Structures are given as C-alpha cells and as structure tokens.
Chain A
C-alpha cells in the first residue's frame, strides 16, 4: 500500500525586535571601537568581569569601577565547529573558544582564527588548552562584539 501522504502546514515567520543594550554594554562597545577591552570590578568580591555587568551577579551589588584588561589571555577551552546551523552567519569551520584575558576573572567567549582552519590536524597541534591568544581587531568598527575580529594564537 502506498504510504499515506503526511499533510503538513509549512510556516516561516520573521518578526522584528529592538533590544536595549543598556548603559554598561553600550559603553563596553564604545570602548571596543577604541580597541580597548574594559571590564568592571566588583567592590565586594574584587572580581573583574568581561564583558562588564552593571551589577555583580554573585554579590548582587552595583559594579561601578571600570578596569581595562589585557588583549591577551589564556585559552580555557575551545571547540572546532564543523556544523552549519540555521541563522548562524559565521562560515564553518570556525573555533569557538573561552579565553581568560589577563587581568580578568571570567571566561570571555569569542573565536580563535588566524590559522589554517581547514587542516584539522594542524589545528589540534596549534590550538591548546592553556595556550596564549591575542585579540585581532576588525579594521571596520561597528560597535559590537565582532569589532574584535578573533583571537590568534601567540607563540
């Protein structure tokens, strides 16, 4: 018997959103335009969080002090993404990574690039946990997180 047709309704919807960045993140992105990575320091636990927050999520108090952190840091972990997914604008393969910038107390999520990403075996030799990476700036600044183009391994 022929397979019964599976009747479905197809749908795709586009709806606009306008989400406020807020004062702290607006300032953070303005600093990025000047190629400076700024965090905020908690007066209670002394942690420096990047990206900055207006309040310390742990101590639950206002965070007022801006602190500039290094553009270099240590690779805490990484993943070689080889899977395209809908609405993802970054071309595969790419490396998502968590970086502990010198002078900060939180992991900074960004990408590692500047090496031949198509040769996976080479990538595994070059990209190491605990290895050092450095920010590479996008010459064109848009006031968003991709003003840092990526982080490259430092040897």
Chain B
C-alpha cells in the first residue's frame, strides 16, 4: 500500500496575535513551504481545519481561509475537527492522485466568545441548552463519576495540570505556561465543582501547518519523514444521558488505530503521546482508555510519574491542550507535536529518549463524544 509521510511542520507562537486571521494563517503556511523548499504551486491539494461562526465570526469560513493557506486554483476541503482534516489529507495521498497535501488548522480564540457560551450551542435548543449545559458542565459531571467510581482523588486530577503547565514552560509555542503546585490548582476557583479553573483549558490563538507527501516524494523532501502508521475513529451518541460517560468510544478508536499499526502493547511500544485534555482529569481517563494503564488506574498512573517528560511514556510534553487550546486546531497540534518528537525537532520539550512511535489523540463533543487516534512512526 502507498505510505503517507509528514515531511514538515510549522506552528504559530502561542502568544495572542495582533495579525488578522488571514495574515496569521499565511505566515505559518509560508513557513512550512519554505522549510520544504516548495512554492505554493508545488502543493497538490489543501485541507483546512477551522470553524465557522462561533470560533471565527465568519460563515463558510473556508471561503475566507483559502487565500491564507495558498489554495488558489487548487482542490481542497475542510473539517471542523482538525484530526479529520489530517486524515482527509492522508486519504488524498492514498488515492494516488496527489504527491503532496498541505493540511492547516487555524483559529484566533482570543477574538471570539469564551468556550463555555460557544459549547453551550453544541446542546440542542429543545432540551439540553435550556438546562444550562456546556462542555465544561458535562466534563464536570464526567469527572465526579470518574472520581466516585474509581476512587481517583481531586489531587490526582490536579497533578495533570501541574505536569502539563510545567511542560509548557519548555514549549515556545505554548499559550499558558506556569509552574503551579497541586495547592495552586486545588485553590483555583471552583467554577464547575469539582472542576477548578486551572484544570480547564484556556482559549488560544493558533495556526499549525503539516505538509504530507507520498513515500517517493517524502524521501526527496526530507531526511526524516514521519509515517502514518495507524488511525482509528469512533463516535458515541449525541445525548450525554444515552451513554456511560466513563465508557466512551476511545477504546474502540484506539483498537482500530493499534490494529492498523500492529501495536499489541501500547504502553511498551509507544514512546510518547499527545493527548487532547481540555480538562485535567480527562488525560487520566483517556490514558486508561488508550491502554496506558488499567481501568480506574489513572490516579495511580499519574502518581507513578510514568507520564512525566522523563517517564516511561511521556504524555503531553508540549503542555497539551491545558496549555494551548486553539479549539478546532488542537487535534492537528497533537499530530504536529507527535511528529516533531519523532523527528527529534521538539526543541526544549523534546523527550529524553529516542522516539520511534508516537500517538496523537483528538476529541470533540460533550464528554469525549467523538474520538480519534493517530499513530505515527519513524
């Protein structure tokens, strides 16, 4: 079968940008093309990851996005979940029709309303929205069940924020970086008890561009191609009440990705993972469901230090979504960060060991309704 490689990656600085969204998009895409030594004309196809009205104030936002990504006269498409944008791009290469595809995700979170009002509109207007639901509310419901069912403590959940915000100190592209203690997290405002303010992701500006190439082309473009080894995705019901919030679809998505990548023992075979954790405790729940530790063992897993930068399986060396949350772009950020770790180009947050296999995860919808897992390899 045709293989797909990530050849180059570029991302914006984590600081709030004063550039217009179009200029902001252009700079990062120009950078990734320069790294690859390509001109816009050399790219076969363009896939965007961006969001409409709520996250950009634009309807049919892709119409606005195309110029900044360099899509003039090209074929392309867009998804609002940028992990989907990535896989659509990979499929374009797999079709044999294109040798190169540019996948770009973009948002200026600083310019639009807070995440909570935006995500309250995920709820339908007939039933969920009038009852006061948003993404944080459902996450807090999920967290309370998680702690209760498995005796995971609030302090163990808080440790995720301590780890990830600390990791972000070494990532120049991170938005929120702070050395915080468990006490700082525990004493931050109880905005959605049991969720505390420091356990909830911020809202960030971010553009990330990933250049994909066919095997033949990739070997000409870079000495260090990063290969797509596995992908899996699975969706749960819309209504949170129709599901068990602690038994979502991530195990199924992971099974599909591991099956394709030939991974039998994820904890041993993976060298690093970038996990989408807009709420601190979710990293623990997702790590369980990805098979890094047993069911209900997320608390012991974080206590063990295994997921630290110097642990056996570092999770979110970039600082994760708790540090940088460019909402629709965060899935592609995870993929880009996993690729940088394999390339050995993550800079100060490069993990200490050789990275041959990396996992990137993305999720959207209430309480992890939709889950996707990408496995990359050297």
Contact = CB atoms under 8 A, between A and B. Distances in A.
Interface of A: 6, 8, 11, 17, 19, 21, 25, 49, 51, 57-58, 76-83, 85-90, 94, 96-98, 106-111, 120, 129, 144-146
A6 B111 CA distance: 12
A120 B125 contact: no
B114 interface: yes
A96 B142 contact: no
A148 B117 CA distance: 23
Interface stretch (B7-15, B202-210, B214-222, B239-247): B239-247
A96 B133 contact: yes
Interface range for B: 35 or more
Contacts of A87: 117, 120
Contacts of B144: 77-79, 129
A96 B190 contact: no
B116 A109 contact: no
Contacts of A144: 126, 130
A96 B132 contact: yes
Contact of A111 (B117, B132, B193): B132
**Among A81, A94, A144, which residue has the most Cβ atoms of chain B within 10 A?**
A81
A82 B125 contact: no
Contact of A86 (B114, B136, B242): B114
Contacts of A106: 239, 241-242
A142 B245 CA distance: 31
Contacts of B242: 49, 57-58, 106-107
A98 B245 CA distance: 11
B191 A82 contact: yes
Contact of B141 (A8, A51, A77, A120): A77
A85 B193 contact: no
A120 B237 CA distance: 33
Contacts of B125: 17, 19
Contact of A146 (B120, B130, B141, B191): B130
A120 B111 CA distance: 34
B192 A82 contact: yes
30 contacts: A17-B125, A51-B127, A57-B238, A76-B145, A77-B144, A77-B145, A77-B148, A79-B141, A79-B144, A79-B194, A80-B192, A81-B140, A81-B191, A82-B189, A82-B193, A83-B136, A83-B192, A85-B120, A86-B114, A86-B117, A87-B117, A88-B116, A88-B120, A96-B131, A98-B141, A106-B241, A106-B242, A107-B241, A108-B241, A129-B145
